[in-house]
Amino acid sequence: MIYRKLGRTGVDVGVVGLGMEYLEFEPEETVKSVVHAAIDGGVNYIDLFMASPRVRDNFGKALRDKRQKVMIAGHLGSVMRDGQYSRSRDNQESLNFFEDLLTRLKTDYVDVLMLHFIQRQDDYEQAFNLDGLLGQALKLKQEGKARYIGASGHNVPTALQAVSSGYIDVLMFPINPAFDTLPEEMLPGVSLKEILDRQAPSAAVETMPARKALYHECAAQGVALVAMKPYAAGVLFRENPSSIVLTPVQCLSYALAQPAVCTVVPGCKNVAEVQAALAFLEASDEEKDFSAINRNPLWKLKGSCMYCNHCLPCPVSIDIGAVTKLVDTAGLARSSSVAAAYKALPVKASACTECGSCVERCPFGVDVIANMNRAVAIFGE
């Protein structure tokens, strides 16, 4: 496994994690086989948002003797009503389902307690106050039933508010090339059909600037990004005349290249899908190369750095992706840790000889030399 820090918590987390959503209706044996394949493969971060008793019981059985090997992300505000999944902003109802989670998982705590699905502004206002779910989560943390507090959602403005609140250490957010290039007016609430049906823009687009700003804000604040929906619910694997097909390894590579992302939690419904995600760990640079997204007219990302390092090697050994990620964070969000991270780089942007070989190799048309100059202007070396 490859490990990254879960943001400012400092905990080591494997870059390949697991989401449980496709296991909700699967039998106990399938849940066990998937969870065990993941843990045996080094996965140490598993997200379970569902409230249905069956999947909770099955996950609990799968975790027997293995609880200490994984971080569990559980959700506050995910409930069942009349046999169906529902979101709740009611403290008592949410607490009941959280206690039910601990009981069924046969554990005393979750590692990350997610304020579940904070989507619209009214959601944020209801949940992020001390009389609401946030207050409840802080109390559970104090009681030792949660180690860290996080939030999940799909909406950039509310996610940004959650990150800026200072209360959360982890943000779970969908990250994939299909969503990252959606026009802002299509969000929130865009359907998969709309994603598939949308027309290609006449010119190449940048990663949606607001999404990029969110990722950098997380990096600046030390909030760990947990990337969900790395396959865009399968859209990225679907063949159609206007699209290219990515592999799971390419999708994970894309998500893990984004600022602040520490782990990706693909939903896997069988062992083969777990293995397909774990293949990232052994994949060659060629297999991880996701620049093919540029061949899809819907996902062209002209001029926007993806931090993928497809432009290497650099004759003076500058880590171009790392330098650009830091300079972009510094340009979009205030942070004292960014300067320290830059200082720690073995070769600074000032070593750039402007040879231009990286510019020729960059599949996204990034002006690397301008970025190196920007780094020198910001960091002074």
Neighbours of 239 (CB within 10 A): 7
Strand segments (E) across 49-109 = 71-76, 78-81, 84-87
CA distances from 315 to 219, 319, 320, 341 (A): 28, 11, 11, 22
State which of residues 261, 305, 330, 332 lies at the interface with ligand SF4 (CB under 6 A): 305
What single-letter DSSP state applies at residue 199? P
> Which CB, 134 or 366, lies closer to ligand SF4?
366
CA 78-80-86 angle, to 5 degrees, is: 55
Binding residues for ligand SF4 restricted to 266-295, rule: CB under 6 A:
none
Site for ligand SF4 contains 321 (CB under 6 A): yes
CA distances from 352 to 121, 259, 357, 366 (A): 45, 23, 11, 15
Site for ligand SF4 contains 310 (CB under 6 A): yes
State which of residues 307, 333, 338, 374 lies at the interface with ligand SF4 (CB under 6 A): 307
- Cis amide prior to 177 (ω within 30 degrees): no
To which H or E segment does residue 362 belong?
A: none
Site for ligand SF4 contains 256 (CB under 6 A): no
Find all residues with CB under 8 Å of 91, minimum gap 6, and list them: 131, 132, 133, 135, 136
Of 56-64, 140-148, 151-159, 315-323, the window that binds ligand SF4 (rule: CB under 6 A) is 315-323
Of 86-94, 99-107, 132-140, 368-376, the window that binds ligand SF4 (rule: CB under 6 A) is 368-376
Site for ligand SF4 contains 370 (CB under 6 A): no
Of 65-73, 116-124, 243-251, 305-313, the window that binds ligand SF4 (rule: CB under 6 A) is 305-313
> Which CB, 48 or 305, lies closer to ligand SF4?
305
Token reading at 155: 């909406």
Site for ligand SF4 contains 327 (CB under 6 A): no
Site for ligand SF4 contains 324 (CB under 6 A): yes
Return residues touching ligand SF4 (CB under 6 A).
305-311, 314-316, 318, 320-321, 324, 352-358, 362, 364, 366, 368-369, 372
